[in-house]
């Protein structure tokens, strides 16, 4: 049976450095990314030394603890594919982190708090085989960042890939809008209109960040998403990272347009949610701001901010209806919350 009232976060990044043999890596070379990494670690109560230490274990333990100590039942823990060229070969030296599918699939098997969000570039020569393997392994979501991983989702040659994804009942969680925390390879693929082919193939597509800006001069794609919502019943948006200064500008339009009934709750942790951004936009009261600021658990804080903003109750477990039943039952561990 589906737990209809269980809150599920559809967008929680898994990060690691391979210290447990996970195959993950992190490469922070640009000064801005170094600073961001330090902020994220501090936000997670992890020491800066974790980056070169046993990050895999520390991060995973913290994630699980955070879920257990919050009102969120489960999170979709996301793999992170490599940026690839048109032939599907990795682009050397580009990209700031990598999280393999096997790692998130094993995390989901070991921890009932985690659902597996896998990541497969559809140009990979083995894309369909890898997708099949992930379906059998209990994947809940396919996560892609088309602008960072260099994916034109509407290339006709990807049709069989999207058709298989649709048949498996797995949604595509696709980054839309600007991006600051991961290097961008092709900014044009931030446009949600590039998601038309998977939509036409019947894939439930969740436009992460609702096409919002990451910087003030980025293009804004919220209106494009509102148009897509008129054309396609299977397009959704997540509200991950919307409690940040620039992205918060789109919140009202997601609440006052047809997108309101398509919102899926997502945090985008470890990106820190800001209590100030919704306050300054007049989306929460001073009292709500104080209450949210007092919450030390970042996941709980993000949830309570989204509740205070007024996202509909259904948005907090909408993902349950968009992922395969098999993915919800994949864990072999005893549920703890």
Residue with smaller CB distance to Zn ion, 80 or 232: 80
Residue 300 contacts Zn ion per CB under 5 A = no
Residue with smaller CB distance to Zn ion, 113 or 268: 268
- Give the nearest distance from C-beta 192 to Zn ion in angstroms: 15
Residue with smaller CB distance to Zn ion, 9 or 268: 268
Residue with smaller CB distance to Zn ion, 56 or 268: 268
> Cα angle at 272 between 269 and 277, to 5 degrees?
130
Selected range binding Zn ion among 54-62, 194-202, 260-268, 324-332, rule: CB under 5 A: 260-268
| Residue carrying structure tokens 């708090």 | 113
Selected range binding Zn ion among 110-118, 222-230, 267-275, 303-311, rule: CB under 5 A: 267-275
- Give the nearest distance from C-beta 167 to Zn ion in angstroms: 26
Residue 81 contacts Zn ion per CB under 5 A = no
CA distances from 146 to 174, 176, 234, 316 (A): 7, 8, 19, 25
Selected range binding Zn ion among 114-122, 262-270, 272-280, 286-294, rule: CB under 5 A: 262-270
CA distances from 47 to 59, 194, 258, 294 (A): 11, 40, 43, 22
Residue with smaller CB distance to Zn ion, 247 or 262: 247
| Residue carrying structure tokens 């709980």 | 300
CA 335/CA 64 separation, integer angstroms: 12
CA 17/CA 13 separation, integer angstroms: 13
Residue with smaller CB distance to Zn ion, 15 or 199: 15
Residue with smaller CB distance to Zn ion, 33 or 289: 33
What is the DSSP annotation of 288-310? HHHHHHT---HHHHHHHHHHHHT
Q: Given the DSSP bridges, would you call strands 8-13 and 235-238 parallel, antiparallel or unpaired?
A: unpaired
User: SS3 of 255, please?
Assistant: helix
- Give the nearest distance from C-beta 7 to Zn ion in angstroms: 18
User: SS3 of 167, please?
Assistant: helix
In the set 56, 268, 300, 302, which binds Zn ion (CB under 5 A)? 268
- Give the nearest distance from C-beta 13 to Zn ion in angstroms: 6
Residue 9 contacts Zn ion per CB under 5 A = no
How many chain residues are in contact with Zn ion, going by CB under 5 A? 1
Sites of contact with Zn ion (CB under 5 A)? 268
């Amino acid at each position: 049976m589906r737990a209809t009232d269980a809150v599920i976060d559809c967008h929680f990044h898994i990060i690691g450095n391979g210290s447990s043999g996970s195959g993950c890596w992190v490469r922070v070379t640009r000064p801005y990314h170094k600073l961001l990494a330090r902020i994220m670690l501090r936000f997670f109560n992890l020491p800066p030394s974790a980056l070169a230490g046993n990050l895999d274990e520390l991060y995973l333990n913290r994630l699980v603890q955070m879920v257990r100590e919050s009102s969120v039942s489960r999170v979709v823990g996301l793999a992170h594919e490599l940026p690839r060229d048109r032939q599907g070969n990795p682009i050397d030296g580009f990209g700031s982190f990598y999280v393999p599918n096997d790692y998130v699939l094993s995390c989901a098997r070991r921890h009932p708090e985690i659902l597996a969000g896998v990541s497969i570039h559809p140009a990979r020569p083995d894309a369909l085989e890898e997708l099949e393997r992930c379906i059998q392994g209990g994947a809940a979501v396919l996560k892609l960042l088309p602008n960072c991983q260099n994916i034109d989702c509407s290339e006709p040659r990807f049709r069989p890939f999207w058709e298989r994804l649709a048949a498996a009942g797995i949604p595509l969680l696709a980054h839309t809008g600007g991006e600051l925390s991961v290097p961008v390879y092709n900014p044009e693929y931030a446009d949600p209109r590039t998601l038309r082919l998977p939509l036409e193939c019947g894939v439930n597509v969740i436009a992460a960040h609702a096409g919002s800006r990451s910087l003030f001069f980025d293009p804004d794609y919220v209106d494009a998403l509102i148009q897509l919502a008129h054309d396609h019943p299977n397009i959704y948006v997540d509200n991950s990272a919307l409690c940040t200064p620039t992205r918060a500008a789109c919140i009202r339009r997601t609440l006052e347009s047809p997108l309101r009934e398509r919102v899926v709750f997502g945090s985008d942790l470890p990106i820190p949610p800001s209590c100030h951004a919704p306050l300054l936009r007049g989306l929460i009261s001073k009292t709500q701001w104080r209450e949210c600021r007092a919450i030390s658990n970042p996941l709980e804080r993000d949830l309570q901010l989204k509740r205070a903003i007024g996202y509909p109750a259904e948005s907090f477990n909408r993902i349950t209806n968009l992922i395969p039943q098999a993915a919800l039952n994949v864990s072999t561990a005893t549920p703890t919350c």
